[in-house]
Every structure is written in structure tokens, then in C-alpha cells.
Amino acid sequence: MEFFQEYEPDIEKPIVIAAMQDMGNVGSIVVNFINDSLHTKKFRTAKSQFPTYVIDNGGYIDVPTESWEYKFTDGLIIFGGGTGQPQNNQELNSLCQDVIDISKKYSAKFIYTLGGFHTNRSLNQNPKTFVTATSKEITKQMQDLGIETTPHKSIITGFNGLILGFAKQNEIHGIGMYGELNEPKIPQYRAAISIIKTLEKLTYRKLGNTTSLELMAQEFEKSF
């Protein structure tokens, strides 16, 4: 993994929101939405040195360049979005550690990550968002706010789980927010909307009008 610092942002003690593409594309949908809505500015790029696939254009291939961006706006650092995530542990760990290093550099006290929560429950176009935290004290605070915590013990794989472990090891508070979905192989816009609303409640800031995501959700529901 290679890292390129393109700009030095004037920011101190931000909240960090970090998530990558996962089932239902939930992490990417939320990160891309926030970046577009808040007009964030790129200041750092992480680039994979080893492609995880090639693109067959019908007789010839292209080797894709996989990279993920750090962006910022007032009081926020946003990392991730885009497509895919590292497929080997060395690059994944390197990426998580870089997010921690950037969080420390700018004195961030809190990291939020986001993803999908696969369930067989009938959602009726109204998925819940479950949270898990880096400490029991934070979990209790979430429950006092009426926010549901993850209902059972499980293993969270990939960046959107592992970053919480890195945060805990480095004494940075963290919360994982996971929106319910039934079909992990198609984009889950309603799960993303649920997460955005929960994130707004916890951060006390408006992240944008989700009407465009609602329209995308309706289009996909018609198709499937």
C-alpha cells in the first residue's frame, strides 16, 4: 500500500468517518453521499500496489488502479468509499493503521465506520441500524439514546470491522454502524439512509438531503 499526501488540511480534533465497499455497497454509498453533499476536499490518497482483479474488455484486459481517498470538511475527515477493498491482510492492516495514524495526527477522538447487516427479517422498506462500540460504556450511552446494538455475537470481517479493533488498540473511541439488508449482492440504499439518519443523531450535524438515495432505492425495488 502506498500513501500520497496531496494537501495539508487545516483541521483539528475532527470526527473520522471511515468505510469501504462491502455487502450491499452500504459503506461506499454512505461515504460517497457525504462527500458529495458536504463538498469535501481530497487531501490524501491510499493506493494498492497489487490489483485484485483484471477487467476483460472483450478480447483484451486492463489492469485497474485501486485507490481510496481521504477528504475533509469542517470538523470531519471522510475516508474510503469507491469500489472494493484490499484482499490480503497485509494491505488491509496497512490501510487500517494509516487511518489510525491520520486520526492521531489531527487529534481525532472518535472514529465511525459503516456497513451492512445481513438479516432474514422482512424489512418492509424500513431497515434498522445496529451499532457496536469499542467499549461497554459507549454501548450503554447508545442504548440510553434508544439506538439498538447488534443483537448477537458475530465476527465482523474486512475494513468496516477491523478498523474498530485498530481504534480500540490505539485508545480511540469508535462505533460501527450496520444497516439491515436482505440482498447483499445489490446496492442497499435504504440501509444507507438508515445509517445516515443514525449518524446525524450521534454527531449532531446534518449530512444532507437523502431524497436522491430514496429515489435510487425505489428504482432498484422496481427492478428486483
112-132: pLDDT as tens digits: 999 999 988 888 888 999 999
| Amino acid 86: pLDDT | 83
pLDDT over 90 (residue 153):
no
Its pTM surpasses 0.85? yes
58-107: pLDDT as tens digits: 999 998 888 899 999 999 999 998 788 887 889 999 999 999 999 999 99
- The residues spanned by each domain of the chain are 2-223
Q: Tell me the three cell numbers of residue 12.
A: 483539528
Q: Give the residue-averaged pLDDT of 105-110.
A: 94
What is the pLDDT confidence band of residue 31, given thresholds at 50, 70 and 90? very high
Q: Tell me the three cell numbers of residue 167.
A: 481504534
What is the pLDDT confidence band of residue 16, given thresholds at 50, 70 and 90? very high
In the beta sheet, which residues pair with residue 77?
16, 72
| Amino acid 69: pLDDT | 95
User: What's the CA gap between 144 and 147, in Å, rounded?
Assistant: 7
User: What's the CA gap between 42 and 142, in Å, rounded?
Assistant: 31
In CATH, the architecture of 2-223 is: 3-Layer(aba) Sandwich (3.40)
User: What's the CA gap between 190 and 135, in Å, rounded?
Assistant: 28
What average pLDDT does the structure give for the chain?
92
Identity of the amino acid at 168: K
